[in-house]
Amino acid sequence: MAEHVEDLSNFSLHTFDAATVAGGLLPEMAEVFGVDFDPEHAAQSLTELSGAIGKSKVLQDNIGQVQEVLGTDQDGLSIAADWLERSGVQKALDRNLWTPGSQTPRDVGAIVMTDSMANGQDRTTALLQRWAEQGRSRDELPRVFLATGNRIMDTKTEVTNASVEQMYDVMGRYPTGYEYGESVVRPTLVSAGYKVTIIPYDTANGSEVADRFISDYPAIFGGEIAFARVANSGVQLAGQFRRAVHARGWNFDTAENPQVYILTDEQPIARNEEELSQSRRFQNPHTGIRQAVQTARNLALMTQ
């Protein structure tokens, strides 16, 4: 029987330790990137490691910085891919934050999405379509809340997204996250049986979107909520909202009363140039390793 190794998919928040998770992966990465990993101040060390990997939220912009450390050859790609695989962040999640093996309840009160990169929104929408088909009647499906900002969807990967291209042809410009949600996400989720509420906010700051959403819909934080996102981003989204709720002094998502659930898909890791060229099918490990660090950082913040 294979030895059980706790990673960033099967962790227990009760006992999470950033220094030992995934076989000591994070201190190992920190050493390579020249960051001193302090187990007593893990969240701060992970913030520094994330910055050493790349500071841009547009992950593609960090690739050059990663390659400066790991190299541009196959060996560098393999190192990053192995790290990403060990982390577990590319695995699908359907669980609460506290306990591995838990599952999102059928009667969860709400599902929350936020606007992300176009490909990410497409994958999250497809994930919720599949979730709806798992023996649930339309009457059982929770309402989906899509909190959107005003970011223009014009990054390198978005301008080649088929739906973005179609909207550009019609509008003569690239859509905002809200416009993409209304035109692409809502119709698909409604067809799957969901009731959908899309809320536009005049900001591109994700933390501000979360805070304003909580102000507008406080009642849903009295129950159980599933946060839906693509592989490697679910814990980050849940953590962002959870911190914003706790900042208000609310008693939310405790060990005795878990309320935060996470739904993500799974995406294989690119291990050669051919797979790197298929960004919609494979995760680039040069960008994925920062997501692993950010996931661990969010968990470390929750256990402080």
Q: Which two tokens stand for residue 51?
A: 């910055």
The pLDDT tens digits of the residues spanning 32-74 come to 999 999 999 999 999 999 999 998 877 788 899 999 999 999 9
Strand order in the sheet with 225-229: 94-96, 260-264, 225-229, 110-114, 143-148, 196-200
Kindly report the average pLDDT of the chain as a whole number.
95
The pLDDT tens digits of the residues spanning 115-166 come to 989 999 999 999 999 999 987 778 889 999 999 999 999 998 899 999 999 9
Of the chain, the percentage scoring pLDDT greater than 90 comes to 90
| pLDDT at residue 2 greater than cutoff 80 | no
Which pLDDT score, from 0 to 100, does residue 75 have?
94
Task: Report all structural domains of the chain as residue ranges with CATH numbers, in order of start.
Answer: 1-91+269-304 (no CATH), 94-265 (3.40.50.620)
Q: Which helix (H) or strand (E) holds 118?
A: helix 118-132
Residue 32 to residue 13: CA distance in whole angstroms: 27
CB 109 within 8 A of CB 142: yes
Nearest to 295 by CA among 255, 238, 224, 242: 238
Which pLDDT score, from 0 to 100, does residue 1 have?
43
CB 258 within 8 A of CB 98: yes
DSSP string covering 41-101? GHHHHHHHHHHHH---SSGGGGHHHHHHHH-SSHHHHHHHHHHHHHHTTTS--EEESS-TT
| pLDDT at residue 196 greater than cutoff 60 | yes
**Model-level pTM?**
0.94
